[in-house]
Structure 1
Amino acid sequence: MTHGCLKCLKYTMCVANFLCFVCGVAVLGLGVFMMVNFKLTALMPSLANFNLASMLLVSGLVITCVSFLGFLGALKENRCLLLTFFLMLFFLLLVELTAACLLLMYEHKIADWVQRDLNQGLQDAKSEHPGESRSEWDLVQMTFDCCGVHNVSDWGDDVPASCCKADCEPPRTPQYRSTGCLDVMKIWFEENFLITGIAVIVFCIIEVLGMCFAMTLFCHISRIGLGYKL
């Protein structure tokens, strides 16, 4: 009976980690695709190396590597791989909990920093040679129906066409989008805060279950003398 349960646990780990591996490859591919086609780094200059594409790329690599370790360790009943899988999940769990605590503790400071960075990005877009910065702001303003950081006055006399909402063709007086992109971001975050919290909790539960399964299988292999000795 015990042997059958542990065998079921082994193949459950294999299937679960294989599905996570596939998801990791998909996230990795999406990160590469966004890095090649979308470079939204001029909005927040200090996050040029930590944009969404880079985060997806790193997340995909981490998920792929960790799930591969879990899959191979369970399939081969290798204690070394299972222990490595357990430690990596434990480390990721600590990182997630630490990041969540820091976000809650320094929420206002982070909001002020985001505002300063957006202002700097807009100033760069208003420069004499804005390059691709202006096109990035155009994409965000048209997607989120906003204009500037706080309102249209942030652009001064050089208001981009993406801020126009109606009557954009001369000689009509254009009607600009009234909401700033910073306010839209705050509203979006508040609306999705609960969903984000639930997602983090689900990820933590999955990681804890993975750690429990890995340690159970590790102890069983150690008890019957299988796998590589440490």
Structure 2
Amino acid sequence: AVVTLSNFVVGNESNYFIGLYILLVVGGLMLTVAFLGCCGAFKESRCMLLSFFSCLLIVLVAELAAGAWAYHNSSKLDTYVRSAVKNAVQDEYSVLPTRTATLDSIQKYFQCCGAEGPNDWQSSVYNNADRSSLVDIAISKLNIAYKVPESCCHEGISVDDCNTVRNIGMLTSIAKPVVYTSGCMEKLVDGIKQNIKLVYIVGAGVIGVEILALIFALLLCCAIRRSSNYKN
């Protein structure tokens, strides 16, 4: 679910892959830092340990800066997530594969449909792309016919029942037992708020371990230096 929520932080597919590349680079950097630390400690090399210390210090400063930025902009997260969900439902579903898969996962996981409710799909790009299979239904003197994604159907509902209801119209009473009626926007925001404390705790733990690694690296460098001076 956390991975699914994170997909809404990016604006489009291009930014999504840029984010993946950044994670790969960061992972490679951390692997290099770990290698320097292990080899430096094993070979008692001050040069490698100092390189380890310098690289880890850069990573630590970057993490602290990113954490400070995230905390400073945390008030904007609620507004951004709401806007991202609405935009995904209205304009990006069935257009961007990553957004489509992400929104399907969100609707299944949170048992919801649309941003504020199933009616959001009525004016969406997904719904307007092909209306040939829809049946017009007169309700309150309005002809309303639209479909919702299959991920809006309740878990355990047969494919035939799901397809029948989701292609008829969401304002009919028959659809309520089959299709989720609550929107995903509020549930997604609540899900993020519930997990944000865990993210802070894990982040603080990682930073704490990195600070200890810096301290031990300096202590080991000093010990190696004293040992070299003693031998000389």
Range class of TM-score, shorter chain: 0.5 to 0.7
Counterparts of 1:97 and 1:158, CA distance in 2: 46
1:41 deviation in Å?
A: 5.9
Counterparts of 1:137 and 1:48, CA distance in 2: 14
Partner of residue 137, structure 1 = 103
Size of the aligned set, in residue pairs, is 187
Residue pair 2:9, 2:81 contacting (<8 A) in 1 also = no
1:116 aligns with 2:105: no
- Decide whether aligned partners of structure 1 residues 184 and 58 sit closer, same or farther in structure 2, where only a CA change above 3 A counts: farther
Within a 5 Å distance, the mapping from 1:1-80 to structure 2 comes to 44-46=10-12, 47-50=15-18, 57-80=24-47
1:95 aligns with 2:53: no
Residue pair 1:69, 1:81 contacting (<8 A) in 2 also = yes
CA distances 1:67-103 after superposition (whole Å, capped 9, x unpaired) = 1111011111111211121122222222222222222
Secondary structure of the structure 2 residue equivalent to 1:182: helix
Residue pair 1:147, 1:178 contacting (<8 A) in 2 also = yes
Counterparts of 2:54 and 2:215, CA distance in 1: 11
Partner of residue 143, structure 2 = none
Larger Rg: 2
Partner of residue 135, structure 2 = none
- Decide whether aligned partners of structure 1 residues 85 and 197 sit closer, same or farther in structure 2, where only a CA change above 3 A counts: same
Counterparts of 1:132 and 1:184, CA distance in 2: 20
Secondary structure of the structure 1 residue equivalent to 2:220: helix
Residue pair 1:148, 1:181 contacting (<8 A) in 2 also = yes
CA distances 1:160-193 after superposition (whole Å, capped 9, x unpaired) = 1211226636478222323333322222222223
TM superposition score normalised by structure 1: 0.67
CA distances 1:139-162 after superposition (whole Å, capped 9, x unpaired) = 331123222223222211231121
Counterparts of 1:162 and 1:81, CA distance in 2: 53
- Indicate which of 78, 85, 104 corresponds to 2:52: 85
Q: CA RMSD in A?
A: 3.2
For structure 2, the 5+ residue unaligned runs are: 123-145, 166-172
TM superposition score normalised by structure 2: 0.66
- Decide whether aligned partners of structure 1 residues 126 and 99 sit closer, same or farther in structure 2, where only a CA change above 3 A counts: closer
